[in-house]
Structure 1
């Protein structure tokens, strides 16, 4: 708690300098979608659906082609809010995790923290201390119960979905099927994204005259895969199958998401807020297979392969970020904290966002890149995915090294030449592999990463795997 008080004092001292170049604080809207792969929106891929509203952000702002998240949702959300690699806050898996679902594992996972620690001074708290109104609408997934909800982490207002797996996307007042929605006051049966957009706009309407920071976290396109019949029918009429990979129901979920984003963007336009509002759009991890395939990347959600951790990132701020611009600079979710503070003209808090690097100079055109650094991942858990096993990875420049912890197997890829991670260069480039392995080992030691241990009861003659999916 003493650290949080220190950050409060630092932020209060920084208050007078929290201005942009126009001496007016920019509003900030972060849109975080769930389980949408890199190619899930039109401006990043060639899926059989369109996301015209989201594509506006690309045509009016900057598109990042090498943006990264964690392979699962809770670590990404912790990283965004704290400016730290999620390993530092010990949230390395989706909460609560599914260790009991994996049969006969070779390694035993260690427990991890089940809620966002109160000692963390979140990006919402940083903006609140700089006189911003703050709101969280949508999925939280950083701990349930009164001690770890958004109001304890800097958000003045919250309207939440707290867990991972929902029984239904259709909500209404006093709907007993949907107990995960706090303060459920849907006036009639609604699709969840419509309802969340209603709540976000309702709050924005009360705070449009003051600088605001809003995190709008949709549940889509996380399973269960569902959509309104009339929306799904449009894609069936276009020839998509009813169910299956990239099918009509999955396409319709993207349409629901795009409609919600469009409503928020239209609200900003209609209230003359768009010019001075930073809108940032990203996904919390790669797309979940088999609902989709993350072409051109290998793997998906729950894996440290590119398909599981590379995500779409769009940032728009008219007159400050060049329209229809693109950056290949590798950035990661814990960079968002210092970047948003930097764009708003607020003093940074390096004691808190210790892993984050501001890429504001790239957004505003002052620099083409950031200083070269290494990006790290550590996922000491099992998932139901093919490569969803305890693993760690490092990216430095164009090179990426993956270590699979069951057998300490290494894979080395040049992502510029081989983004699909199909040509393992471990034997051809041993010096590069050794350098990256040492960096990865040193980093895991530095952040006190928890390592799984050998299972003394592992039986090689029995089935080892995930009997059912729970993530």
Structure 2
């Protein structure tokens, strides 16, 4: 039976809800119809937004893939697991890097519990389909060693080996579990078929199920089925979006969401299945345009980690509801841990957002932090510039402060008045800057976050 206790909707194991978490890769804040795209078509994602709760201020915990997924899977900020970037941490022109980057961890350590283990230990059948990017089954850091009963295509790779069957690259590296297929078959479609298969197999079982549907779309390389590309070539371009190939990739992702929702409906399990749609980080500029915010993937600005988020939780979220409370992908682990009454294996950095979902609260009093002690080259000027240099940032209420380690400079923005982060108002607000810098360094002490201090001997000043 199910019952309310301490403002939560808890269930005995036989009545626990299934959970389907759909993670897009590099999907920008404005890459869907419901978030404002004037060219990409996402009717299925848009429908889900009307069926569930939309979060207008949802963040990833990092501005690129591996650290964001590690935070999502563990409920921990980056300093707790040491995955700060997609290796190597010292990318870009070495003569332009003032400091030596902090070493980066590539795989999620075995001593850190995962969300898969949380669900599995609480009686769920767990399936992973798609991009893992946190290790490999061969050395005990892949999905099958981290709580998942089924793993299709999940390994260390952050970029798809190929978007077309046989899903192998020139080095003959191939996605596992996709050995059989049809020439010309498209990866997003095939992963969706595998997800549908897992749902069918699990729906009639004795256990509830957790599916982590982790797409590679819309990550590079930018390629899509030609018939869908042709559709967008014949469509008038929008003010902000106009790339027909990227638009076709977005449509295949949207089709996947539709097929997954349809199979859940057709099996009669909609009323006991939670569906979540999210992206691992912001959209990759200049491939797309995150026109409502500044910057894109890899950057310290809102475009790097502001993402779409929809949660449909039967009997909890109200259809068509909206929350503007800032949330972070580290919040999913504690939310489900509370729901499952699971044992707290560690101190989690995220918070339980159930009170937001159930409308018992409209806001949560906490600060959010991002930590990037590395360098990331730009997409333009042949990589001579940088998308990001070492920084730590904090969002506290309406304020956002970015602290840069190279020169100890800061940028301060009032996100309520300046979501595009056009106006640095740090000089005019010294007390706010002082307060937020204190919060950053208190957090660094709390999490034992390493930051770069050693000069780079290869640095060449332009002065």
TM-score (norm: length of structure 2): 0.90
Instruction: Render the CA deviation track for 1:358-415: whole Å, top value 9, x for unaligned.
Output: 1111101222222x11100001111123542111100011111001222111011111
Q: Does the alignment pair 1:117 with 2:109?
A: yes
Shift of 1:180: 3.6
Instruction: Determine helix, strand or coil for the equivalent of 1:172.
Output: coil
TM alignment of 1:264-283, pairs within 5 A: 264-283=260-279
Of residues 340, 356, 364, the one that matches 1:346 is 340
For 2:180 and 2:270, the matched residues in 1 are separated by 27
Larger CA deviation: 360-369 vs 426-435: 360-369
Q: CA RMSD in A?
A: 2.2
Give unpaired runs (5+ residues) of structure 2.
1-7, 379-385
Q: Does the alignment pair 1:154 with 2:147?
A: yes
The aligned counterpart of 1:397 is 397
The 3 A distance-change label for structure 1 pair 406 and 212 is: same
For 1:170 and 1:72, the matched residues in 2 are separated by 24
Shift of 1:444: 1.1
The aligned counterpart of 1:226 is 223
The aligned counterpart of 2:5 is none
Q: Is the 8 A contact 1:18 1:25 kept in 2?
A: no
Shift of 1:136: 0.7
The aligned counterpart of 1:59 is 50
Shift of 1:461: 4.6
For 1:285 and 1:337, the matched residues in 2 are separated by 18
TM alignment of 1:5-404, pairs within 5 A: 19-20=10-11, 24-69=15-60, 70-94=62-86, 96-97=87-88, 99=90, 101-104=92-95, 105-144=97-136, 145-162=138-155, 163-172=157-166, 179-189=173-183, 190-209=185-204, 210-240=207-237, 246-342=242-338, 345-352=339-346, 354-370=348-364, 372-385=365-378, 386-404=386-404
Instruction: Render the CA deviation track for 1:48-75: whole Å, top value 9, x for unaligned.
Output: 0111111122100100011111101111
For 1:23 and 1:434, the matched residues in 2 are separated by 52
Shift of 1:459: 1.4
Instruction: Determine helix, strand or coil for the equivalent of 1:158.
Output: strand
For 1:459 and 1:173, the matched residues in 2 are separated by 42
The 3 A distance-change label for structure 1 pair 353 and 278 is: farther
TM-score (norm: length of structure 1): 0.89
Paired residues, number: 440
Instruction: Render the CA deviation track for 1:136-172: whole Å, top value 9, x for unaligned.
Output: 1000001234221011111111112431233531123
For 2:273 and 2:312, the matched residues in 1 are separated by 8
Give unpaired runs (5+ residues) of structure 1.
1-16, 463-471
Shift of 1:424: 1.2
For 2:53 and 2:444, the matched residues in 1 are separated by 33
The 3 A distance-change label for structure 1 pair 188 and 173 is: farther
Shift of 1:101: 4.6
Q: Is the 8 A contact 1:245 1:290 kept in 2?
A: no
For 1:147 and 1:77, the matched residues in 2 are separated by 17
The aligned counterpart of 1:11 is none
For 1:25 and 1:431, the matched residues in 2 are separated by 48
The aligned counterpart of 2:383 is none
Instruction: Render the CA deviation track for 1:171-203: whole Å, top value 9, x for unaligned.
Output: 238887762401223420211011101111112
Q: Is the 8 A contact 2:232 2:247 kept in 1?
A: yes
Shift of 1:304: 1.4
Instruction: Determine helix, strand or coil for the equivalent of 2:144.
Output: helix
The 3 A distance-change label for structure 1 pair 170 and 98 is: farther
Shift of 1:87: 1.9
TM alignment of 1:446-457, pairs within 5 A: 446-452=446-452, 453-457=454-458
For 1:53 and 1:439, the matched residues in 2 are separated by 41
Shift of 1:348: 5.0
